């Protein structure tokens, strides 16, 4: 590899089940000069998000699938190393949709400049002050519409999105119950984040019984990060006029088929509202969301965990940790400057 090559991981074939090195492969490609209006950033952080697994498939989704042969698409944060755009100088830092690669070449308009002098660790702009924090903020407040005194249940509660959902729900005066996959995660939710109760869904046995026990007054808002059997069980525990904010269905992303929901009739029986969303629905309100999240974070009202792993060559095994629950908080890959 010369200093003018770009190491990247690309989609060689579409996975069924967990992606492996058969589906995601490494190559070094030449790095050219930026064309008129373009910049080249050296990636400092790559955000590892469950949604990337969906983009590896060609099933209908909210954005185009990754084409076979293309580098694996990912949000990235990097430093400008070459600029042919009037708004960017070498040394500027910004965020964009990039890929699992050392350098990303992109139009200047696609790079969202960040101020390094705020004293905020840059990686947070991919997590609590970025897409995952914003997903929690808009998904809970706009879609879930929680009211003081109500009970909010959140799945994948110790993750990047779920942990912020629960803390915002507490600030709304709700009773908050989280579901997570280990006792350590459950202890963090109740011990440090102020959740009222937590369910270890891997050891609790019957989901319905566990939810009813942890939510004796029923559930008014379910923030669904996982879909599948947990969603199906929760449908039977929802109160009249409850809302389900469908954020993601991580339990199905590597599954051959999506399990059927036996309890969907509860939508009629309890006059439920089930509404899906993506954070992109709120693009024009991102500034409001980031400002509020930053204020809460600075005031210590929102705590977060980051799981930062070094080295581009670790990208695939690190990404897979999202699906066995071994990530603790927002999963980010760090590349050397
Ligand atoms: N709609 C949007 O715009 C939007 C934006 C961002 C993320 N999302 C969605 O939000 C959800 C969480 O994403 P995140 O980035 O915050 O990831 P995360 O929660 O930090 O990490 C994923 C977690 O999901 C849990 N999980 C994995 N497989 C599971 C299974 N089969 N059943 C139950 N839980 C499972 C694991 O935690 P445990 O140890 O608890 O099992 C894992 O740590 C995902 O569904 C994602 O697609 C949606």
pLDDT tens-digit profile of 168-226? 999 999 999 999 999 999 999 999 999 999 999 999 999 999 999 999 999 999 999 99
Q: Do 185 and 99 fall within a single domain?
A: no
Q: Do 52 and 111 fall within a single domain?
A: yes
Q: Is the residue at 293 inside a domain? A: no
CA of 272 to the centre of ligand 1 (A): 23
248 lines ligand 1 (CB under 6 A): yes
Can you give the pLDDT at residue 4? 81
Mean pLDDT of the chain: 97
Say what the pTM is. 0.98
127 lines ligand 1 (CB under 6 A): no
Write the residue with the smallest CA distance to atom 47 of ligand 1.
248
Q: Do 241 and 137 fall within a single domain?
A: yes
pLDDT tens-digit profile of 261-283? 999 999 999 999 999 999 999 99
CA of 226 to the centre of ligand 1 (A): 6
- CA nearest to 116, candidates 156, 72, 77: 77
Element counts in the chain: helices (H) and strands (E) = 9, 15
Q: Is the residue at 171 inside a domain? A: yes
Q: Do 50 and 144 fall within a single domain?
A: no
Can you give the pLDDT at residue 3? 57
Q: Is the residue at 288 inside a domain? A: no
Q: Is the residue at 136 inside a domain? A: yes
pLDDT tens-digit profile of 222-264? 999 999 999 999 999 999 999 999 999 999 999 988 889 999 9
Write the residue with the smallest CA distance to atom 9 of ligand 1.
248
- In the chain, pLDDT over 70 holds for what percent of residues? 99
Q: Is the residue at 299 inside a domain? A: no
278 lines ligand 1 (CB under 6 A): yes
Ligand 1 atom closest to 156 (CA): 40
- CA nearest to 98, candidates 160, 49, 148, 36: 49
Q: Do 112 and 215 fall within a single domain?
A: no
Q: Is the residue at 269 inside a domain? A: yes
CATH of the domain at 112: 3.90.180.10
Q: Do 81 and 200 fall within a single domain?
A: no
């Amino acid at each position: 590899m010369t200093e003018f090559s770009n190491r990247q991981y690309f989609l060689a074939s579409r996975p069924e089940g967990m992606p492996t090195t058969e589906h995601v492969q490494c190559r070094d490609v030449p790095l050219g000069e930026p064309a008129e209006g373009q910049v080249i950033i050296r990636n400092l952080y790559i955000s590892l998000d469950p949604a990337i697994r969906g983009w590896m498939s060609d099933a209908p989704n909210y954005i185009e699938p990754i084409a076979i042969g293309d580098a694996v698409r990912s949000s990235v944060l990097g430093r400008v190393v070459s600029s042919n755009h009037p708004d960017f100088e070498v040394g500027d830092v910004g965020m964009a949709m990039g890929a699992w690669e050392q350098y990303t070449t992109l139009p200047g308009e696609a790079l969202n400049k960040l101020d390094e002098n705020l004293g905020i660790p840059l990686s947070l702009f991919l997590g609590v002050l970025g897409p995952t924090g914003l997903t929690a903020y808009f998904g809970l407040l706009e879609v879930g519409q929680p009211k003081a005194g109500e009970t909010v249940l959140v799945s994948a509660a110790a993750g990047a999105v779920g942990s912020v959902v629960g803390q915002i729900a507490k600030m709304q005066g709700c009773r908050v119950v989280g579901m997570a996959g280990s006792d350590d995660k459950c202890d963090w939710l109740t011990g440090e984040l102020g959740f009222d109760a937590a369910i270890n869904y891997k050891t609790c046995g019957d989901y319905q019984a566990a939810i009813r026990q942890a939510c004796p007054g029923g559930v008014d808002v379910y923030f669904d990060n996982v879909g599948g059997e947990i969603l199906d069980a929760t449908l039977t525990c929802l109160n009249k006029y409850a809302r389900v904010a469908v954020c993601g269905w991580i339990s199905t992303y590597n599954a051959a088929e999506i399990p059927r929901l036996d309890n969907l009739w509860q939508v009629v029986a309890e006059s439920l509202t089930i509404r899906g969303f993506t954070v992109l629905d709120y693009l024009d309100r991102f500034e409001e969301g980031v400002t509020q999240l930053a204020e809460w974070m600075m005031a210590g009202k929102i705590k977060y965990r980051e799981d930062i792993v070094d080295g581009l060559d670790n990208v695939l095994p690190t990404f897979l940790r999202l699906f066995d629950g071994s990530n603790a908080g927002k999963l980010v890959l760090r590349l050397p400057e």
